[in-house]
Amino acid sequence: MTIGILGGGQLGYMLALAGYPLDFHFRFLDPSPQAPVGRIATRVTADYTDFEALEKFAHGLALVTYEFENVPVEAARFLQKIVPVYPPPQALETAQDRRSEKALFQKLKIPTTEFAEVDSANDLENAVRKIGLPAVLKTCRLGYDGKGQWVLRTSEDVQRAKSEIPAAPLILEKFVEFSRELSILAARARSGETAFYPLVENHHRGGILRLSLAPAPHLTPELQREAEAAARRVLEALDYVGVLAIELFECDGKLLANEMAPRVHNSGHWSIEGAVTSQFENHLRAVAGLPLGDTRTLGYSAMLNLIGELPDPAEVLAISDAHLHVYGKSLRPGRKVGHVTLRADTQAQLAQRLGQLPPFFQREEFCLPPEVAKSAK
Ligand code: AMP
């Protein structure tokens, strides 16, 4: 079976690596001739809106899925006339716009951050009156890794934002004093079967994910149940097929949904070594109409993102149960170029292994817990 994937970045790369043992073949479409999947699979270089290229791309495919959430929804709908497309284009459309995402959370009674719509610089004052400061102004579309966002703390920030904001729909969100950021990864098969990974704790710097701890420390069964119930409602409402990620804020022991991604997710990379079945394999099983795999964790994992630079591989691999993933992208500041997962049987052993990481990782931006960073010195 040949699976077509829209987008040829690292998520696609890891999907293909998970799919080869299951005898899947892959064909990718990406506008960039440098897309990393070119190293390991057939890659078609074309714009997502080149319908002639899409038609040729779809020829002979069993199904199409995506690894990039900003694929124009017209491309997914066009392909759907030729070949099954999973997750449903409606999920893509909902997740691409913060307002429709919020509307879905509200319809499904999933608590989400309070917000107001902003369509122009003039609306901003009204929105600030309604929401208060501090607040976060976000473009509704095409924001990622903290891009298209302004944190407004003072009336000067509001005045500055008025002259900077694009002529595009935005939302103003209340600034949430969360105790931590979490995410849940869920999978739904074509049969309707569902599976959930444990909540993961995520640490960001400069809007980019730096560290994920799986399962989230101090995870209670109540919190896990609350997250699963929310994810299940989204999966069912969208008749979803594939892996879905929901990013959440934990506030006073309760969860607030921030946003969702209709695809495999950076906060699930740990599952390659840290779960019985990885998010990548489960996404492929789901879209291919196969039973889902076991999502149980294998001990404790920490995933560290490599942003713009790579460590000495020998120093990482000298640590027991350390796993290095390099995506084959050119090194540029702010770019995700690889990740490292450390796995261990106990939390204490994981802390010890994190402490063995070379000085490269002992910088503040890697977000290592203070006791670990200290022990490494
Ligand atoms: P997002 O693009 O919505 O995932 O936002 C990127 C990051 O900005 C999040 O992971 C949070 O660390 C932070 N952030 C986003 N929205 C809020 C908010 N309403 N209050 C506080 N921090 C936020």
The per-residue pLDDT for 120 is: 87
The per-residue pLDDT for 376 is: 63
Q: What is the DSSP letter of 297?
A: B
| pLDDT exceeds cutoff 60 at 224 | yes
CA dihedral of 17, 23, 29, 32, whole degrees rounded to 10: 30
Distance CA 283, CA 293 (A): 10
Distance CA 211, CA 217 (A): 13
Pocket of ligand 1 contains residue 143 by CB under 6 Å: yes
Give the number of other Cβ atoms within 10 Å of residue 109's Cβ.
9
**What is the SS3 string spanning 3-33?**
EEEECCCHHHHHHHHHHHHHCCEEEEEECCC
Range 218-223 average pLDDT: 97
Range 289-300 average pLDDT: 98
| pLDDT exceeds cutoff 60 at 10 | yes
The per-residue pLDDT for 122 is: 87
Pocket of ligand 1 contains residue 301 by CB under 6 Å: no
Structure tokens at 158: 């509001």
User: The whole model's pTM is what?
Assistant: 0.96
| pLDDT exceeds cutoff 90 at 129 | yes
Give me ligand 1 centre to Cα 44, in Å. Answer: 34
Q: 96-110 pLDDT, tens per residue?
A: 999 999 999 999 999
Structure tokens at 129: 């009156």
Pocket of ligand 1 contains residue 207 by CB under 6 Å: yes
The minimum-distance atom of ligand 1 relative to the CA of 148 is 2
How far is residue 199 CA from its own chain's centroid? 13
Nearest to 67 by CA among 22, 21, 113, 13: 13
Give me ligand 1 centre to Cα 147, in Å. Answer: 10
Q: 137-167 pLDDT, tens per residue?
A: 999 998 766 678 899 999 999 999 998 888 8
| pLDDT exceeds cutoff 90 at 192 | yes
Q: How confident is the model at residue 308 (pLDDT cuts 50, 70, 90)?
A: very high
Ligand 1 atom 11 nearest Cα: 207
The per-residue pLDDT for 34 is: 93
Pocket of ligand 1 contains residue 204 by CB under 6 Å: yes
Higher pLDDT, 143 or 69: 69
Q: 247-288 pLDDT, tens per residue?
A: 999 999 999 999 999 999 999 999 999 999 999 999 999 999
Pocket of ligand 1 contains residue 224 by CB under 6 Å: no
Range 61-66 average pLDDT: 98
Give the number of other Cβ atoms within 10 Å of residue 356's Cβ.
17
Nearest to 336 by CA among 261, 263, 267, 259: 267
DSSP, collapsed to helix, strand or coil, labels residue 242 as strand
Mean pLDDT of the chain: 95
Least confident of 39-53, 83-97, 139-153: 139-153
The per-residue pLDDT for 144 is: 63
Nearest to 320 by CA among 373, 278, 357, 372: 357
| pLDDT exceeds cutoff 70 at 338 | yes
Task: Report the share of the chain in percent with pLDDT over 70.
Answer: 98
Pocket of ligand 1 contains residue 69 by CB under 6 Å: no
The per-residue pLDDT for 377 is: 55
Helix (H) or strand (E) holding 302: strand 300-307
Pocket of ligand 1 contains residue 113 by CB under 6 Å: yes
Helices (H), the chain: 10-19, 51-58, 73-80, 89-95, 98-107, 121-131, 155-164, 221-237, 271-274, 279-287, 313-317, 347-355, 370-376
The per-residue pLDDT for 139 is: 93
Give me ligand 1 centre to Cα 169, in Å. Answer: 18
Range 25-44 average pLDDT: 96
